[in-house]
Structure 1
Amino acid sequence: MTIASDPIQNWAAQAQAAAEAKAKKDQTLGIDSFLTLMTAQLRNQDPLKPLEGTEFISQLAQFGTVSGVQGMQTSLETLAASLRSTQTLNGTTMIGRDILASADHFDHTEGGTVRGQIDVPVGTTSLQLRITDSAGVVVREIQLETEDGTQDFTWDGMRTDGTPAESGTYDIEAVATVRGQTGSLEVLMAGRVSSVSLDASGTNLTLNTPTLGQVSMAAVRRVQ
């Protein structure tokens, strides 16, 4: 249902906003007003305690500093608004793109596939991808190549017994043996960007993906 706006109410709101802006502007001391006040001060100074030239210069310098800071603040606010617009525009170019980010869990949709990459170090003799459900049960283990460099992997969404894994959140781990030591390697998961979000400050851009959830732009390792 469409709610029609009241033109009189809108006009009143605009008039009030304009009045507030004018009042704020009227309260601001400009350079002309400052010089007028300084001239009046010189004319009406105490003859026994005349205003020294250094005091006048000091006050003028202080006013110039304050005025300069206010101008700089205005410039910074304009620059910040421009940067927010630029960041939002850059974020929209990510929609529909696939990103790779470090992850130890992901959201799986039954019938879908999951893919990613692992940076395999030199000296790796064994590499296994382990996928576990929310109950801690191992759903699938996949043996991967141990050649050093970037190794791509894909999980077809099937359990070890050949049945499809149901939709839900799963943990993923890359277990490797490197120079006789067994441990975990970082897993980069792929996710397609469906939308982007900008926080209230306009500084942090978040990419929204069905597989990885919300991913900070700073956490993106690769873009495909």
Structure 2
Amino acid sequence: MSTIDTGNDIYQGLGLNRPSEESDSAELTQEDFMSLLVTELTHQDPFKPMDNTELASQISQFSVVSGIDQLNTSFSSLSDSLVSDQALQAAGLVGREVLVASDVGYLAAGRSIDGVVGLDTSASSLNIAVYEQGSDRLVREIELGTRPAGEVAFSWDGLMDNGEYAPPGRYRIQPRAMVDGEETAPYLLTEARVGSVSVGAPGQGLALNLDGLGVVSFNDVAEIH
């Protein structure tokens, strides 16, 4: 409940000091206002009655503040409802696969690293280089050949160029495309599994905890599988 200035006029009219703002009674409720207004009208000087304009002004000011409080209450209820809806939607995301803009993929045991590469124009050649996370050691290079403009899906099952399978962990993915004789870096979307979801405060949205990749905002998700 907000404190309004009209209360000062009423307390002064009754010759009273306004309670301290630190006190809970500093907030003037609708019942308080009406009670004080009736008291003021009852004890006013009959030869100097309150001006109708002044009376209308006090009532209208209180009505505006009261209306704002009701509006704030409505918005608060709406916000709580939206957060509840988000929580229900979030429950359905756990275990799903999502595409996010990341050059890191997580190779889980018995799984693959999948993703999408986007080409603005056709490429004479396209390849995906896979590096050990945190080093420059190339473990696998996947040739995807000539590709037209658009999105190209890729998948790495963990098999390295030496014929062995890479251990589970994080790997850096780097796509390369040759366009008009020049090497370019297409945009990259990496697939990851949603392990859990956190519902933030109103206005903060959902935060997804992706297996092996950490936390990302739901707004950063390009696609849900």
Using the size of structure 2 for normalisation, the TM-score is 0.79
C-alpha distance in 1, partners of 2:48/2:141?
A: 91
8 Å CA contact 1:84–1:203 kept in 2: the answer is no
The answer to whether the 8 Å contact 2:90/2:197 transfers is yes
Q: Determine helix, strand or coil for the equivalent of 1:193.
A: strand
What is the identity, as a one-letter code, of the residue corresponding to 2:96?
R
**Aligned position for 1:51:** 50
Instruction: Report the Cα distance in structure 2 between the residues aligned to 1:59 and 1:194, rounded to whole angstroms.
Output: 57
How big is the shift at 1:201?
4.2
Q: Tell me, which stretches of 5 or more residues in structure 2 are unaligned? A: 1-22
| 2:187 maps to amino acid | E
Question: 1:71-90 alignment to 2 at 5 Å?
Answer: 71-90=70-89
Q: Deviations over 1:19-61 (max 9, x none)?
A: xxxx96x875443432231122233335675422111111111
Residues 1:65 and 2:51 aligned together:
no
**Distance in 2 separating the partners of 1:99 and 1:110:** 19
Alpha-carbon distance in 1 for matches of 2:45, 2:130: 87
**1:167: how far off?**
2.8
TM-score when normalising by structure 1: 0.79
Task: Supply the AA of the counterpart residue of 2:211.
Answer: P
Structure 2 counterpart of 1:143, one-letter code:
E
Cross-structure match for 2:127: 128
Tell me the distance in 2 between the aligned counterparts of 1:189 and 1:111. 18
Task: State the distance in 1 between where 2:138 and 2:165 align.
Answer: 14
Of the structure 1 ranges 211-220 and 125-134, higher mean CA displacement relative to structure 2 is found in: 211-220
User: Is 1:139 paired with 2:139?
Assistant: yes
Give 1:210's aligned residue. 211
Q: Which ranges in structure 1 are unaligned for 5 or more consecutive residues?
A: 1-22
Indicate the structure with greater helix content: 1
2: CA distance, partners of 1:71 / 1:211: 46
Distance in 2 (CA, whole Å) between partners of 1:93 and 1:111 is 24
Matched, 1:222 2:223: yes
Query: Whole-Å Cα distance in 1 between the matches of residues 159 and 180 of structure 2?
Result: 32
